[in-house]
Structure 1
């Protein structure tokens, strides 16, 4: 467990989380597709989620990606994920932040707590210098999450990510390790 704050905690995914992750993805498929890349049907199988977690564990060992589940403290139920992608070391020491939260859990402050815990892990455990996140400009809730976690707006990346067959602009936000 990384750190507990209020009602949630984050921890690196383990093989035992595959079924909960699969259920989260299936339950929120339409909701998540509005904001992320289109997934093939295979993605929505339990076996694929098991393989995904295995790959994530291998990537942690290689210091490439870190994938955390977001769990309700009281019940240990998985409600989302918060992740560090494309970790780069010398000379940048940075990573990209991504996250999803169960539609039913939105608006309760859980994602802000999870991002703050992720930032703490990235800066204090991994010793990264900078974290960056891209959000579609109309996704005000996600922008607020990042700002509450200490990120600042840097600009708009035009036609940055292809989502559901269309190139989308993204508001870029970043946070710098205050200890550097």
Structure 2
């Protein structure tokens, strides 16, 4: 697997990923209108992601299969807050056919040190729906600690959904 910073050059690949994994990702994401899946909308989001990454306000990464070049997923570190907080939110998704192969763990294991060392953040927060067992297990294996449950936290797939709140602290900041 190869991690690449999201940019407009990946429009066709990301469009194909969204279309082929639409039903697979639907239970875990906000409701998406048909316009979300249009290629021009994908290109526009990728331009925005590239700008956010370039300015240090986020890190948007795409996961590609090394040999075929197929886009297998994404991982993002967004909502960067500086000052005394120095934190962000992590989010990720992976293609249905790529689940259970350790690829997201590989991607996040590579990306997290960058967020801590290069971006200089202190805390990464990652939240997941309680029924998303795979995400919960992945975050636990990566060292994220459960901090609680937020009731009716995000509107996912058209309904308000509870989320388990987790975080990972920069190990260099621990005494």
Match among 12, 34, 57 for residue 27 of structure 2? 34
Equivalent residue number for residue 72 of structure 2 = 79
Residue correspondence of structure 1 range 6-155 to structure 2 within 5 A: 8-155=1-148
C-alpha RMSD of matched pairs (Å): 1.1
Equivalent residue number for residue 171 of structure 1 = 164
Q: Distance in 2 between matches of 1:157 and 1:115?
A: 24
SS at match of 2:146: strand
| Structure 1, unaligned runs of 5 or more | 1-7
Equivalent residue number for residue 3 of structure 1 = none
TM-score of the two chains, using structure 2 as the length reference: 0.95
- The Cα shift of 1:84 comes to 0.5
Q: Distance in 1 between matches of 2:10 and 2:54?
A: 18
TM-score of the two chains, using structure 1 as the length reference: 0.92
Corresponding residue pairs, total: 173
| Structure 2, unaligned runs of 5 or more | none
Q: Distance in 2 between matches of 1:165 and 1:46?
A: 23
Q: Distance in 1 between matches of 2:118 and 2:56?
A: 12
Q: Distance in 2 between matches of 1:106 and 1:94?
A: 28
- The Cα shift of 1:75 comes to 2.8
Tell me which stretches of 4 or more aligned residues in structure 1 moved more than 6 Å.
none
